[in-house]
Structure 1
Amino acid sequence: MDNTLDDSGKLILRLALGILILMHGVAKITGDISGIEGMLTNAGLPAILAYGVYVGEILAPILVILGLYARIGAVLIAINMVFAIGLAHADEVFQLTGTGGWALELQGMFLFAAIALALTGPGRLAINRM
């Protein structure tokens, strides 16, 4: 495959994942994270972990968008998505929608796109290749 096309594809993946996750982070900044704190304490985890959402939904997507330590950013997004699925959507993991799609399509797409980016790297159209 032509390297230019490969790098362009990685750029599109980085921008799509980063921008879409960042929008969720902006919503957390303009709202609050008390719901996440509640889910954590209900799961027996410390409420302070809720502040990790800012790492997973603000810092990590910025790294991914810029291509600055994008692999680390992608891993952070993947971890964030595992927590989101486990805390907020665990009852939906094996459910389908009325039209036959997976109930967690959005969360799954974010998780697997982040894993793919962590494995492939950001490409040449990035600040660094890490």
Structure 2
Amino acid sequence: MSGSQPSQDLGKAVLRIVLGALILLHGISKLIAGPGFVTQVVTQAGLPVVLAYGVYIGEVVAPVLLILGLWARVAALIVVVNMLVAVGLVHVKQLGMMADTGGWALELQAMFLGGALAVALLGAGRLSVGGINGKWN
């Protein structure tokens, strides 16, 4: 199966770039709107307000690292934590719900979480800034 390495690297690149781009767009909307909603959710949960700014690490910094393929495993784990916190603080009531348009209410969150887990396990691949030999790639 030596011929499969280029397609595996391309698949890893597509996965991390699409995941990074979609989460980055989500983060950019939070940059534009400001931290108000996130700080409100964090403080209502009894957590320190400073934790609200972690959303920018999980939805802006980590996605940029994923797109570049630099420290991709770490970036993916940050996205995993970000998604778990988002589900725990905002979406927990939707866990067993169906969406009005059909499907599961948390499809997007589940896809982000699953994609990030996959990148954390697979690494960035050769088509990345960090290369295949990077310790956290």
Q: TM-score range by the shorter chain?
A: over 0.9
Q: CA RMSD in A?
A: 1.1
Which residue pairs with 1:110 in the alignment? 112
What is the aligned length?
130
Q: Distance in 1 between matches of 2:119 and 2:9?
A: 12
Which residue pairs with 2:78 in the alignment? 76
Q: Distance in 2 between matches of 1:97 and 1:37?
A: 26
Q: Under a length normalisation based on structure 1, what TM-score does the superposition of the two structures give?
A: 0.95
Change (3 A) 1:13 1:46: same
User: Which moved further from structure 2: 25-34 or 13-22?
Assistant: 25-34
Q: Secondary structure at the match of 2:103?
A: coil
Superposed displacement of residue 31, structure 1: 1.4
Superposed displacement of residue 23, structure 1: 0.4
Change (3 A) 1:15 1:40: same
Percent of residue pairs bearing the same amino acid type? 48
- What are the ranges of 5 or more consecutive residues in structure 1 without an aligned counterpart? none
Q: Distance in 1 between matches of 2:61 and 2:99?
A: 32
Which residue pairs with 2:41 in the alignment? 39
- What are the ranges of 5 or more consecutive residues in structure 2 without an aligned counterpart? none
Q: Distance in 2 between matches of 1:112 and 1:82?
A: 11
Q: Distance in 2 between matches of 1:60 and 1:73?
A: 5
User: Which moved further from structure 2: 41-50 or 94-103?
Assistant: 94-103
